[in-house]
Structure formats: structure tokens, C-alpha cells
């Protein structure tokens, strides 16, 4: 398991056409098992304090798992809508995610842990109603 710096930049554009951006930089851990890259980090300043996020990076999709006070299992598969339950200390809600595009830029094929960027664009619906268009940019590199 390697120590990494994880940078997550999320943008969201809703019905009002205002675009909101949030950025998180955290220390995390990365491990390569076969073709799957695992990244874990703690949510510190994003409103999800106390939550650990696990990203499973496959060649063609990304699986996100949040554990702690906020729980979620979300799968980003290009061209497909997936559903999940988002559990918070205040209640639960059903989310739908239609992944429009997913790209993965690997800096070094010899050592994929040494730096990657994943870009995901998706549509989000909450309880069956469209909420926003989003992008998620996840980068990580060895410390």
C-alpha cells in the first residue's frame, strides 16, 4: 500500500445554471491488485467529516464506496444509469446517476500508483427527479 495525495474537484450545475465547485485535497492510500486500483481517503473538509471513501478504479468504470456517518455505494459506468441509497445522519435518499463520460489518464503504465487522473461527467437525480449535471475530477500521486 502506497501513501498518496488525492485531489478531488467536483463541479455541479443545477436548474438555476449556477455552477458550484468544491475541491478536496487529502492524504490517502493506494493499492494495485491486478487490474484494479484501490484508493482510500478520509473526508475532512467536504461536509462529510468522519467518512472514509474507497474508490475502486477499473479500466472501464469506477465504484465509489463511502463508510461512516455518510454511507453510499455508487457506480459510474459510461452510458448507464445506476442507482444507490445515500444514507446520512439526517435520513436516506435514492440517487440515480447517468454517467455520460469517463476517462482515465495513467501517467506511468509501469507504476500506475505514481499518478492518475480520472474524469467523470454525469447527471444526478434525487428521488427520481433531475438534480444537476456534474463533473468529478480525481487525481492522485505518490507523496
What does the pLDDT look like over 30-74, one tens digit per residue?
998 998 999 999 987 667 778 999 999 998 999 999 999 989 999
**CATH number of the domain to which 136 belongs:** 2.40.128.20
Please give the average per-residue pLDDT across 21-27, as a whole number: 92
Apex 54 CA angle, 48 and 58, nearest 5: 140
pLDDT in tens, 93-125: 999 999 999 998 876 556 666 678 999 999 999
- Looking at residue 5, its pLDDT comes to 95
pTM of the model: 0.88
Q: Which domain holds residue 79?
A: 2-142
User: What is the number of structural domains in the chain?
Assistant: 1
d(CA 128, CA 134): 16
For residue 35, how many other CB atoms are within 10 A of its CB? 9
Q: What pLDDT does residue 112 have?
A: 61
Amino acid at each position: 500500500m502506497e501513501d498518496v495525495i488525492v485531489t478531488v474537484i467536483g463541479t455541479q450545475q443545477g436548474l438555476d445554471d449556477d455552477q458550484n465547485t468544491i475541491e478536496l485535497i487529502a492524504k490517502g492510500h493506494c493499492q494495485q491488485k491486478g487490474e484494479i486500483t484501490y484508493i482510500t481517503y478520509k473526508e475532512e473538509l467536504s461536509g462529510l467529516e468522519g467518512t472514509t471513501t474507497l474508490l475502486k478504479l477499473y479500466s472501464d468504470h469506477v465504484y465509489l464506496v463511502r463508510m461512516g456517518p455518510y454511507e453510499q455505494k455508487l457506480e459510474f459506468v459510461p452510458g448507464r444509469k445506476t442507482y444507490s441509497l445515500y444514507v446520512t445522519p439526517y435520513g436516506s435518499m435514492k440517487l440515480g446517476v447517468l454517467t455520460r463520460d469517463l476517462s482515465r489518464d495513467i501517467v506511468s503504465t509501469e507504476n500506475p500508483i505514481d499518478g492518475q487522473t480520472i474524469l467523470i461527467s454525469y447527471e444526478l437525480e434525487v428521488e427520481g427527479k433531475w438534480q444537476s449535471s456534474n463533473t468529478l475530477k480525481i487525481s492522485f500521486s505518490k507523496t
